[in-house]
Structure 1
Amino acid sequence: MYVGVEETDFLKKMSWKLCGKETRELLFRAKEACQNRFVFTHPWDMERCEEPVSFSNKIDWTYRLNEDEEWTFMLNRHRFMAEIGQSYLLTGEEEFVHHWKRLFYDWVLANQDPTIHPLTYRKIDAGIRLVNWLKGHSYISSSANWSKEDDALFYKQLKEHGEYLSRLFTPFDFQSNWGFIETNGLLQSAFMMEKSMKNEWLNAAISRLEKMIELQIPDDGYQNEQSPMYHHEVLFCLIEITIVLQRNRISVPCFVNAAVDRMLTASFGFMKPNGHQPMLGDSDDTDVRGVLAIGAVLLKRSDLFDLSNHQIGLDFLWYFGEEGLKIYSSLTEELPQDCSVSFQQAGVTVMRNGWSHKDDYLLFDHGILGQVNKGHGHDDTLHLELMTDGREFLVDGGRYTYCETQEREYFKAANRHNTVTVDGLSPSIYKGTWEWEQCPRPIDSFVRFHERYDYSQSSHTGFWRLPSPVHVTRRVFYRKSLYWFVIDSFESNGTHNYEQHFHFPEHTQLEWNDRNELFTTYKEGTNIKILPLAFSKEDQLELKKGLISRHYNQLASAPHAMLQYKNRKQFAAPFIIVPSQAGEDVSLRVKSLPVSSIKERKEADSDVLAFHIQMGDVEDLIICSLTGSDSFIADQYQVCGEVILISNREDGSSIEVIR
């Protein structure tokens, strides 16, 4: 998988030159593992843990830190075996060979007891372990201290693992990231087998890949569990499979190339301006630009090169070696033509005005909780995330743990996301860390992109289950580079409390003034102001201390603002978000306007809304019918449609019927 020992000089030099911090961290983890101390801090560790765990004598391969089995699974995935092998190449120190063998033999001996296999030998972990063994072995085996007896045991373990993965593939695996992870291990280990078994495993792996890609990677490229974390786990598997096949002079199937291509496009499509993935659906706050750099070389795509921002990581260097760095350096910069992205199958819309780290970014999640068993899904339908001028404002809270704890339920619930609740209830019913009941069905989703605005809307069925059902719709309008205008509408014959939730990053200072404005108070850079346009003295704002988890096992305090509209029936709750520079008061005027039908009958505010918005020299009139397309008169304009924008221009007014 990694380039061979013939590139030792290049890897030694460029790992330190281009990835010094990552190289130091790799050597630290490898040396810790050699002393039976384990930390899981690799950027792509699925369940990170910075707390070191030490074993004084023999390693307990079933140990659970804080009763969390995920720690045990991480231990048995053996990333440290790949890193010990890399450390041997970087330093030439034979101690690394000694400890690689010791740890390998220790694990093999312990697993002669099949009763520990539920914790040490799951299929997903076996697939990951195989890949890490192969990476480490490619360097350790060059040592004079690696014997024929060592090779024989290594081969025996590869064969046992491969037979296990070949035999026990299930229908669930076709629909899960597990299937790709298992298949990656099976395919890579096939090249260490005799010809008949090699061909058998390769054929099985390729056949599974074709089916899994068809089932899991839709046209929009966003893996069907709809978690950026596991999207990238699957993408890494396909990247490694592509590299291994190419290195062994085997033609890469066209369906694999196509899947890698569209998954990489999806990766930068939902990537935030800071280069990180959003923390949707059990994802961590991980930088994805290194993945784009790998994709740029693999597919020779200039857009991936440009968006990677020269974030070359160790995996890049060790996958491609000197030739890969030459290819990367030869690529030209070319940003994607379209800034905003609609993931139609996933139900995610991303609105942008550019690709720089300073540009605007709004993510609107209006899809289902995720396919398969919805285990990685959070109750985040209609959730928003917002960045502008290089600063995060509205964020997802992350995941923190997979244990069945209060924290697990807290981070998955709707009120932990920037969405709406009714009477304090989530749209879905939480049943356990991997299980939901009565999940909402998104309906009436619509997206439109324009050079001056983006618009998206969606409804869901999550509150239809109430004794007095509520139909919720969120409409999101982005007036590019100026403001975001959101209308939440609630259709019901009963009386309810309706809540809007806003979650901010750590250390954000929030204030609420007597003009009913919620705003951040950074002393430098950009702030935002949120103006609820239907808030009354009977309603309530709560500023709370919430929690955020940027990585598994990490917790921090972060502010949570909740607007509660009390005792309402049919109701619309619009709000506008505007950015401003610290110390400056944004020039904004928002005025609600009356709307009448063409028969001069005044429409109720719950049916049709019209707002005049003025920012500096820009004046907009937004008319929104909450009951479908019709004809209206507002501010002397007679228009027909459901959502209409009337804006001033130097050559006169412009009318856009958005929907």
Structure 2
Amino acid sequence: MRLKRASMAEVFYRAKHRIENKQLRRRAFSEGLTLPVPCIPRDDWAGLLMPDIQVGVDSIEPEELLKGKIYTLNTGEDSIGQFETRWRNIFSGDIKYNGALADIRAIWEPARLQHLAKLIIAGQISQPKDVSRIEKAIRDGILDWLEKNPFLLGPHYISPMECGLRLPVFVYALITRNHWSDEDRDMLLDAVYKHGWWVAGRLSLYASLGNHTICESIGLIFAGAVYRKTAEGKKWLEKGISLLQQELSHQVMEDGGPNEQSFNYHRFVLDLYRLAAGFLEKNGLYDCTLWKPRLTKGENFLKTFMDASGNVPSIGDSDDGYALAPCVYPKRGDDDFMETRPCVTFPESGYTVIQSAKRLLFTFDHGSLGMAPLYNHGHADALSISLSVAGEQVLVDSGTYRYNGEPEWRRYFKGTRAHNTVNIDGADQAVQETGFIWSHPYKAELLSIIEKNGSIILEAGHDGYARLKHPVYHKRTVILLDASCFVIRDLFSGKGNHNFELNFHLHPDASVQSEDAWLSIRKNNAKVNTDGLVKSNIL
């Protein structure tokens, strides 16, 4: 499926990697994998500065981390440990990680070492009596990981994205820890160089451009900054900056929305850009001024979707990843968000948000399937809606569940039935080829928007079912009659007999009760009444 969408340049790029992997595999089991690492003076890295970091409302939790807490995506540590032990001494390219064995995303999570990133931040703000314990935990954690995961062996070198996300942690530890031995620092410098080398040769390019590319660029920037006075390090730094510059307008659209059509990955990508910009500017490596207007648009996009409790709809894929660590993130800027209009449309990314004094927040999705040509992280959710009342999520996007190991549920959560829209003849609006590849993408568009005398009328449509034997075009009209009354009208035009399935997904904590002629949806202090009737027009 990837080859069908690949250019000749990408075919050669992938073939080159296959050949190199075979060569590396032979070396791993013959003379051993050795990579000459240049020796650099302390001054090349000791003066580097960390970017400004913000801490969220939750505590840094140093005590729990010092007692061994790691982030596991709700997967048992025993399961992760067993998988790592089984494949520890196997060349990474030979590891089998189909979903029957493990969710590889869960295996990778602790190896991002973000529990140690959080400890490093805690060490910067902790009382002096805690510093020695934190220093020891960071040193032991990193050196233990390096000892258990020799270069290119085991599951944690499969994805260059994962290597890219580890590099900031290595560099933070290198430049902020004061009591490491020369031998320990040499091991860490060795890991920084080898990770940088591996990422530089395995970049996600061509059809694979996406948030992986951003993670890898971050890794190149941090490794390149440490080795910037070597020929390789200078190339890494320049390549990382160049890719971020290129991808900013590709991944963050002109209206600030996500090209990948995933809100979680949008947050992830924006934080990675802020992380890179903060590091580069603080160390005088690059002026990121031209990046900031687009990043501000991205922040304002997400803020527009945020209800009174800070909730944002779970639109598109989510792997629950963080640029740094949970509740720890790079400084996101002090730009004030002044959007107060009752109806805001994002024409490029394809969303409209209706809000009234933050008590009611209604979203309408009339955007594309995702980032072409594979549409990896998009869901078939054309014309889907969500509703939050008084900070309580009522009508929700079903989210992602998980990527690996549950193919039937992966298909469901990506599919049309899992969203607040209409499914026709049991088919999705596009065709799921794999867990990450779509074909037959639909075209969705906002047809009209009218605001008059406090009322708002939105009309949008999509052609996802034009591929049926008897094609059908779906048009949805959303009418806000006043500050709290919506009418939703679905119109289907085409020929033949069809089955139409309309879904509205409630938050798991919401309850439904019958009250006279109404159905009442309640969630804590929020209440939504509906007449209980579904009316559609079919032509």
**TM-score, structure 2 normalization:** 0.78
User: Do structure 1's residue 455 and structure 2's residue 445 form an aligned pair?
Assistant: no
Distance 2:80 2:375 in 1: 36
Preserved CA contact (<8 Å) 2:204 2:212: no
**What are the equivalent positions in structure 2 for 1:87-486 lying under 5 Å apart?**
87-89=122-124, 90=126, 92=130, 94-112=132-150, 114-116=152-154, 119-139=156-176, 141-143=177-179, 146-172=180-206, 175-197=209-231, 198-283=233-318, 299-303=333-337, 335-354=338-357, 356=358, 359-372=359-372, 373-403=374-404, 404-443=406-445, 445-449=447-451, 452-486=454-488
Q: Does structure 2 retain, via aligned residues, the 8 Å contact 1:181–1:237?
A: yes
> Which deviations, in whole Å up to 9, do the C-alpha atoms of 1:347-380 show, x marking residues without a partner?
11111123x3xx2111111212211422211111
SS at match of 2:200: helix
Q: What letter matches 1:368 in structure 2?
A: S
SS of the residue corresponding to residue 271 of structure 2 reads helix
Q: Does 1:29 align with 2:61?
A: no
Does the CA-based 8 Å contact 2:311-2:391 persist in structure 1? Answer: no
1:518–1:469 distance in 2 versus 1, CA, 3 Å: farther
Once the 2 structures are TM-superposed, how far is the Cα of residue 285 of structure 1 from its aligned partner? 8.8
Q: Which has the larger radius of gyration?
A: 1
Cα distance between partner residues in 1 of 2:49 and 2:256: 36
Cα pair 2:66 2:137 within 8 Å, conserved: no
Partner amino acid, structure 2, of 1:469: P
CA contact under 8 A between 1:124 and 1:181: conserved in structure 2?
A: yes
Contact 1:471 1:490 in 2 (8 A): yes
SS at match of 1:510: strand
Is the alpha carbon distance of 1:49 and 1:534 closer, same or farther for their aligned partners in structure 2, counting shifts above 3 Å?
closer
Distance 2:79 2:484 in 1: 54
Which of 102, 115, 120 aligns to 1:67? It is: 102
Q: How many residues align?
A: 475
Q: What is the CA distance between 1:187 and its match in structure 2?
A: 1.0
Q: Does structure 1 conserve the Cα–Cα contact (< 8 Å) formed by 2:49 and 2:283? A: no
Gaps of at least 5 residues in structure 2 are 1-46, 89-96
Matches of 2:469 and 2:484 in 1, distance apart?
Answer: 41
Shift in Å, 1:208: 1.4
Is this contact kept in 1: 2:49–2:282, CA < 8 A? no
- CA distance in 2 between counterparts of 1:270 and 1:521 reads 21
The residue matched to 1:23 in structure 2 has which SS? coil
Match of 2:12 in 1: none
Q: Give me the TM-score of the superposition, normalised by structure 1.
A: 0.65
Identity among equivalent positions (%) equals 22
Does 1:83 find its partner at 2:81? no
Residues 254-289 of structure 1, C-alpha deviations (whole Å, 9 max, x = no match): 43222212111112122233212210112379999x
Q: Distance between the aligned counterparts of 2:522 and 2:204, measured in 1?
A: 53
User: Which whole-Å CA distance do the structure 2 matches of 1:269 and 1:74 have between them?
Assistant: 30
User: Structure 1 runs of 4+ off > 6 angstroms?
Assistant: 4-7, 54-59, 63-66, 284-288, 290-295
Which deviations, in whole Å up to 9, do the C-alpha atoms of 1:595-654 show, x marking residues without a partner?
Answer: xxxxxxxxxxx6xxxxxxxxxxxxxxxxxxxxxxxxxxxxxxxxxxxxxxxxxxxxxxxx
Change (3 A) 1:256 1:62: farther
**2:223 and 2:237 in contact (8 A); partners too:** no
- Could you tell me how far apart the structure 2 residues matched to 1:6 and 1:162 are? 19
Counterparts of 2:157 and 2:365, CA distance in 1: 36
Indicate conservation of the 8 Å contact 1:61/1:72, yes or no.
Answer: no
Give the whole-Å Cα distance in 2 for the aligned partners of 1:171 and 1:293: 29
Distance in 2 between residues matched to 1:456 and 1:60, nearest whole Å? 55
Counterpart code for 2:165: I
Call closer, same or farther: CA 1:226–1:30 in 2, change over 3 Å.
farther
Q: By how many angstroms is 1:250 displaced?
A: 4.2
Distance 2:83 2:519 in 1: 56
Cα shift readout 1:40-94 (whole Å, capped 9, x = no counterpart): 3xxxxxxx32644488999639588961111122122111221343455535354
Does the residue aligned with 1:503 lie in a helix, a strand or coil?
A: coil
Structure 1 residue 207 displacement after superposition? 1.6
**CA drift at 1:212:** 1.0
Instruction: Note the 1:551-590 alignment, pairs <5 A.
Output: 571-572=537-538
Give, in whole Å, the separation in 2 of the partners of 1:498 and 1:533.
15
| 1:550-601 deviation per Cα after TM superposition (whole angstroms, max 9, x unaligned) | xxxxxxxxxxxxxxx7xxxxx35xxxxxxxxxxxxxxxxxxxxxxxxxxxxx
- Note the alpha carbon deviations across 1:205-260, whole angstroms, 9 max, x for none: 22212211132222111121010111111101111111112211345234322221
Change (3 A) 1:293 1:434: closer
* Aligned residues of 1:39 and 1:51 also touching (Cα < 8 A): no
Post-superposition Cα deviations, 1:81-136, rounded to whole Å, max 9, x if no partner, equal 2134345553535444444334433433444363525x434111011000122233
- Alpha-carbon distance in structure 2 between the residues aligned to 1:177 and 1:147: 36
Per-residue deviation at 1:299? 3.9
Whether the 8 Å CA contact 1:85–1:135 is kept in 2: the answer is yes
Change (3 A) 1:393 1:287: farther
Aligned partners of 2:121, 2:164: CA distance in 1, in Å? 20
- Deviation at 1:154? 1.1
- Aligned-partner Cα distance in 2 for 1:444–1:235: 26
- Residues 79, 132 of structure 1: 8 Å contact kept: yes
Mapped partners of 1:112, 1:6: distance in 2 = 28
In 1, the alpha carbon distance for the partners of 2:281 and 2:392 equals 41
For residue 149 of structure 1, report the CA deviation from its aligned partner.
1.2
1:85–1:138 contact (8 Å) kept in structure 2: no
Are 2:444 and 2:463, in contact at CA under 8 Å, matched by a contact in 1? yes
CA contact (8 A) 2:401 2:409 kept: yes
- Aligned pair in 2 of structure 1 residues 385, 55: CA closer, same or farther (>3 Å)? closer
Distance 1:477 1:68 in 2: 43
User: Is there any run of 5+ residues in structure 1 with no aligned partner, and where?
Assistant: 41-47, 304-334, 536-564, 566-570, 573-605, 607-659
> Which has the larger helix fraction?
2
Could you tell me how far apart the structure 1 residues matched to 2:432 and 2:387 are?
26
Give the Cα separation in 2 of the matches to 1:58 and 1:238: 32
Offset, 1:433: 1.4
Going from structure 1 to structure 2, the CA distance change for 1:220 and 1:476 (only over 3 Å counts) comes to same
CA distance in structure 1 between the aligned counterparts of 2:278 and 2:272, rounded to whole angstroms = 10
- Per the TM alignment, residue 178 of structure 1 is displaced from its structure 2 partner at its CA by 1.0
Letter in 2 for 1:278: P
Secondary structure, counterpart of 1:168 in structure 2 = coil
SS, match of residue 154 in structure 2:
helix
Contact 1:81–1:133 (8 Å) recurs in 2: no
Counterparts of 2:106 and 2:178, CA distance in 1: 31
**Inter-partner Cα distance in structure 1 for 2:286 and 2:228:** 20
Cα distance in 2 for residues equivalent to 1:241 and 1:71: 25
Letter in 2 for 1:338: R
